[in-house]
A and B are shown apart, each in its own frame.
Chain A
Amino acid sequence: MKPEDIEREFREKVCSKLSLVPEGLDRFRVFTPFMFEDGDHLCIILKKSRDRWTLSDEGHTYMHLTYDLDEKDLQRGTRQKIIANTLAIFNVEDRDGELLLSVEDNSYGDALYTFIQGLLKIADVSYLSRERVRSTFLEDFRALVSEAVPPERRTFDWHDRQYDPQGIYTVDCRINGIARPLFVYALQNDDRTRDATIATLQFERWGLPFHLMGIFEDQETINRRVLARFSDVCEKQFSSLKINEDRIVRYIQEAIRS
């Protein structure tokens, strides 16, 4: 096939897939071949308001994203940044969830292409919500400790009834029956690590005797500052549960025997 034939084929294909269908006064539905990942096409309306022609998605793009995502997730974190950048780059207005682009200087084609690019880029944030297998870390932690420590010598979700009757400062597992009980934390993320540091400092303030041990789900994912503060108060750490199960059991059993 000659290049000019290919070009003609391209033009025919693209043009034939674009159409404008009237839907009431000064309002048209714009059909394009551009789709979300589920085969639904982008929702685009061309409408006139206050003598200006505007392209609108009538809130469909965000609504479509909320099939998988919490609406609040669109307004925070990486998704919010991608959306805010996209709106700025393509000059698209977000009017309370409705995405709009004004047609300037009768440049309908330019406006449509810009609007489509913006909508597709926003639709892409759905890929950030792809499957993440739910962590079994806490369940695995409990199973491991339950196996290594007899029931009468361990208390999960322990708190000091005298100083902290409401249970604000908790320990994931307290291993007792030794001169200084062993407090064990299962640490999944920055928040949990920060909470463990705060609780440990509080226990020290109350003058509780204890040894401290932290088991991370994946220590490499913890913020360096958060980890540094926790390291200051923690005697023994394991960087991950899975690859240290034997060592963890050995450490706990030695602590019990002591």
Chain B
Amino acid sequence: MVAQNTAPASRRSGQMLLLAVVAVLAAAGLPFLINSFFVGVVTSVLIWTIIGLGMVVLLGYSGQVSIGHSAFLAIGAYGHALLIGAGVPFFLSVPIVVAACLAVGALIALPSLRFSGVYLAMATLAFAFIVEAVIGDLDITGGRGGMPVPREKLFGYSLTQTNVLFYATLVLLVGTFLIARNLVRSRTGRAWASLRDSEVAAASMGVGIARYKTYAFAFSAATTALAGTLLAHKVGYLSPDGFTIQQSIEMLILVVIGGMGSLAGAFYGAAFLIILPILLSIVKDKVPSGMGELPGLEAGIFGAALIIFILFQPKGIDGAIRAVLARLKNGTGAGRDDHAGA
């Protein structure tokens, strides 16, 4: 994580900041360069990057596994849609929903104070199933049939417009990234890393395990809810089928493939998760009939990618990129990349 101290920290972070500013500016110019379909794709990638940031913090930094974050995505999306339907403006609705999930996340993290590992995964799985069942039954959410997301304007521009949603997402992503980055570099981030590596050692050094686990879980719940509010505008129609265990698992695939050694992994994973199915559908159209008919091919490819990454590249795309960069930097290369990863 913070292990690589080859350059003075200030210079390194200065370079990083410059790089990030350039990336954001380049992204801001995108809608003028590519057509609206691709802007939509990039928006999806950015929305999933927001989710990914929370997951990297939860899994990569604090070492906790959740198979229930689809519930927070659902609460974010439905909560936001219901609030703006009731006349609450976007600027108020988003903070309300995010704050609510921060609180719910802290509440759900309570089990993690008592047990760890598999048990927490089970508790979150159960939470997701219950939320899904409740949403599928309520009248105000339209039950299993779902509900349309009310139209909403931002500074007078409709969020149904691809470019408007894109800029809104970009701004919120940058905000989330800055918060996440400051968190992982602070005392809190060091506490997470210590309890991830050994809870016993962390506790004996005076790190409040329960408190920091709760912080990480609540943070990831909040970012996932934030992504949910944006996703609601992106899809335009919400139904319980879009918020199942399947989505929770996709979030886990995102961090495994992107890599959870650094926050950048969230972006790589999101790009993989969104772009691969689109590429597949393009390939399917080109291939003569029969081949393209394979149902569920996508899931199989995700599964295979998951296994291949864990077997051969457990640090994900992020780890691979950092290994290459470290090699380029040192010229001779050998032996340095081991220090770069988690």
- A and B: real partners? no
B residues in contact (CB < 8 Å) with A = none
